[in-house]
């Protein structure tokens, strides 16, 4: 089966190139819910993005005016990027190069008025979990509370008055030096607001992450920021509807999904899952994926009888934001670093809830009872037979 790499820029570019305008409008209506207004971002921001060689796109989600509540406007920024140095460069140099790259991108986000920014999963490192090797990859792990990356993000957050969501490989030295796949949430004051951990760990293809860390033990925390209530559902958690649901039940208005995933495995699922979660949970979702192919020094196998290889496959970018009414932004490209800015009106969450009522019709008490039974070792599924 054909599987595009960097040469194929995006679904959107393909549609725009090949479809006559009336067809394009209908296709966009079906694929994206409705066409969103493009944000009027400052010229200097586009110039800086072009100088720094990354894509910049901005869209606005509107909500109806209300009599009693003011619009609750927040601008989110989603960052997707390649790893600037090869995976066999010294660890400290790779981390510094990524810090420099993110600093350049966040400066443009600040020009665009971004209030909350989120980076891709394990953003300070190559996605080395495919190798199953420990060194040097475990050396990328840092303290969530006061590691060099958290300190770096604290400065950025304070300087730019921006909430920063920083997904890292965490080393928890308070608890036996164990590793976790963690997102640190840093307030716009510069204080560490807290952390959340990846609840579902993949055991699929080369995603051998269970070799490095266990399923998160922090539940489904939601962080009250000055700009709204946010949660972080890390990568593979997006295949688990209950994971999204619990963040939503705890009050999340925006759920970020920092990811690292490749075309052969998930590209056809990507446009569906975060968008569906936004619809099902009456919230905004922000799906972020890394870009490019990362090559590792030593060969590894996928345990499927196929030849050993030195790369994971193609990380296809395509980051996007979806809204509770099912509308979504186009994706960033598949082959370029990028910053996607989206202006949200959080009033839309309650407005859609009042129309569709999924929280009211969800029958959670019935599922709680049935699930509590279904997980018991002696449970027998209810199958009606002739
Ligand atoms: N990073 C990660 O969890 N990837 C798993 C693959 C996927 O969820 O698409």
Does residue 17 have an active-site annotation?
A: no
Tell me the C-alpha distance between 44 and 128, whole Å: 36
Residue 386 lies in a domain: no
Angle made by CA atoms 166, 284, 230, in degrees to the nearest 5: 40
Helix (H) or strand (E) holding 103, with range, is helix 91-111
- 303 falls in which pLDDT band (50, 70, 90)? confident
Does residue 121 have an active-site annotation?
A: yes
- Do the Cβ atoms of 289 and 80 come closer than 8 Å? yes
Q: Is 243 in the pocket of ligand 1 (CB under 6 A)?
A: no
Nearest CA-CA partner of 259 in 246, 245, 277: 277
- CATH code, domain with 306: 3.60.110.10
What percent of the chain lies above the pLDDT cut of 70? 99
**pLDDT value for 97:** 98
Identify the domain containing residue 16 by its residue range. 8-36
Instruction: Say whether both 127 and 234 belong to one domain.
Output: yes
Helix (H) or strand (E) holding 182, with range, is strand 178-186
- 142 falls in which pLDDT band (50, 70, 90)? very high
Nearest CA-CA partner of 123 in 228, 310, 283, 256: 256
- Do the Cβ atoms of 223 and 194 come closer than 8 Å? yes
Tell me the C-alpha distance between 269 and 221, whole Å: 26
Which sign does the torsion angle of CA 29, 31, 34, 37 carry? negative
Write the residue with the smallest CA distance to atom 8 of ligand 1.
236
Q: Is 287 in the pocket of ligand 1 (CB under 6 A)?
A: no
Q: In this predicted complex, what is the ipTM?
A: 0.99
**pLDDT value for 1:** 57
Q: What is the mean pLDDT of residues 164-185?
A: 98
Tell me the C-alpha distance between 114 and 355, whole Å: 29
Residue 288 lies in a domain: yes
What percent of the chain lies above the pLDDT cut of 90? 95
Instruction: Say whether both 346 and 369 belong to one domain.
Output: yes
Instruction: Say whether both 193 and 259 belong to one domain.
Output: yes
Instruction: Say whether both 22 and 88 belong to one domain.
Output: no
**pLDDT value for 316:** 98
Write the residue with the smallest CA distance to atom 5 of ligand 1.
236
**pLDDT value for 304:** 87
Residue 153 lies in a domain: yes
Instruction: Say whether both 17 and 135 belong to one domain.
Output: no
Instruction: Say whether both 54 and 22 belong to one domain.
Output: no
Instruction: Say whether both 28 and 141 belong to one domain.
Output: no
Write the residue with the smallest CA distance to atom 3 of ligand 1.
236
**122: which 2 tokens?**
């394990």
HSE value, Cβ hemisphere, 13 Å, CA-based, for 141: 18
Residue 135 lies in a domain: yes
Q: Is 266 in the pocket of ligand 1 (CB under 6 A)?
A: yes
Number of residues written out for the chain = 386
**54: which 2 tokens?**
């990354």
Instruction: Say whether both 189 and 334 belong to one domain.
Output: yes
Residue 1 lies in a domain: no
Which of 182, 214, 235, 302 to mutate for ligand 1's pocket (most ligand atoms within 8 Å of CB)?
235
pTM exceeds 0.95: yes
Query: 85-116, pLDDT tens digit by residue?
Result: 999 999 999 999 999 999 999 999 999 999 99
Query: What residues contact 10, with CB distance under 8 A and at least 6 apart?
Result: 318, 330, 331, 332, 333, 334
Query: 205-253, pLDDT tens digit by residue?
Result: 889 899 999 999 999 999 999 999 999 999 999 999 999 999 999 999 9
Q: What is the mean pLDDT of residues 127-155?
A: 97
Instruction: Say whether both 26 and 143 belong to one domain.
Output: no
Q: Is 264 in the pocket of ligand 1 (CB under 6 A)?
A: no
**pLDDT value for 2:** 67
Q: What is the mean pLDDT of residues 332-343?
A: 98
Residue 184 lies in a domain: yes
Number of folded domains that form the chain: 2
Q: What is the mean pLDDT of residues 168-194?
A: 98
Instruction: Say whether both 65 and 124 belong to one domain.
Output: yes
Q: Helix or strand or coil: residue 379?
A: coil
Q: Which residue has the tokens 């400066």?
A: 107
For residue 129, is it left (φ>0), alpha (ψ between -120 and 50) or beta? alpha
Tell me the C-alpha distance between 118 and 339, whole Å: 10
Instruction: Say whether both 28 and 177 belong to one domain.
Output: no
Nearest CA-CA partner of 73 in 292, 307, 345: 345
Nearest CA-CA partner of 57 in 121, 118, 112, 120: 112
Tell me the C-alpha distance between 61 and 75, whole Å: 10
Tell me the C-alpha distance between 167 and 181, whole Å: 7
Instruction: Say whether both 114 and 45 belong to one domain.
Output: yes
Residue 384 lies in a domain: no
Residue 280 lies in a domain: yes
Q: Which residue has the tokens 């920024």?
A: 77
């Amino acid at each position: 089966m054909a599987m595009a790499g960097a040469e194929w820029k995006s679904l959107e570019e393909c549609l725009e190139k090949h479809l006559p305008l009336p067809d394009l409008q209908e296709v966009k209506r079906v694929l994206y819910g409705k066409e969103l207004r493009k944000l009027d971002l400052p010229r200097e921001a586009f110039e800086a993005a072009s100088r720094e060689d990354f894509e910049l796109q901005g869209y606005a989600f509107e909500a109806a005016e209300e009599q009693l509540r003011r619009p609750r406007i927040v601008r989110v920024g989603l960052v997707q990027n390649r790893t600037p140095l090869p995976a066999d460069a010294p660890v400290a140099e790779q981390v510094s190069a990524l810090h420099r790259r993110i600093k350049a991108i966040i400066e443009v986000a600040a020009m665009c008025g971004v209030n909350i920014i989120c980076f891709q999963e394990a953003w300070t490192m190559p996605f080395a979990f495919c190798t199953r090797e420990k060194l040097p990859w475990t050396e990328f792990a840092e303290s969530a509370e006061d590691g060099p990356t958290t300190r770096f993000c604290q400065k950025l957050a304070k300087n730019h008055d921006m909430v920063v969501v920083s997904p890292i490989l965490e080393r928890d030295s308070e608890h036996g030096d164990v590793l976790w796949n963690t997102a640190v949430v840093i307030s716009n004051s510069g204080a560490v607001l807290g952390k959340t951990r990846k609840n579902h760990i993949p055991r699929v293809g080369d995603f051998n992450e269970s070799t490095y860390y266990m399923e998160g033990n922090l539940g489904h925390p939601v962080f009250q920021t000055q700009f709204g209530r946010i949660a972080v559902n890390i990568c593979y958690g997006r295949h688990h509807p209950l994971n999204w649901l619990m963040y939503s039940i705890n009050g999340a208005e925006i759920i970020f999904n920092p990811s690292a995933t490749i075309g052969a495995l998930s590209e056809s699922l990507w446009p569906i899952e975060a968008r569906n979660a936004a619809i099902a949970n009456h919230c905004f979702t922000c799906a972020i994926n890394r870009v490019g192919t990362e090559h590792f020094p030593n060969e590894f196998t996928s345990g499927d009888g196929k030849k050993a290889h030195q790369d994971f496959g193609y990380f296809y970018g395509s980051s996007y934001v979806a809204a509770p009414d099912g509308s979504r932004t186009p994706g960033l490209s598949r082959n370029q670093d990028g910053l996607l800015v989206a202006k949200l009106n959080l009033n839309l969450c309650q407005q859609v809830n009042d129309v569709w009522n999924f929280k009211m019709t969800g029958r959670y008490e019935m599922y709680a009872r049935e699930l509590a039974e279904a997980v018991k070792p002696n449970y027998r599924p209810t199958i009606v037979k002739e």
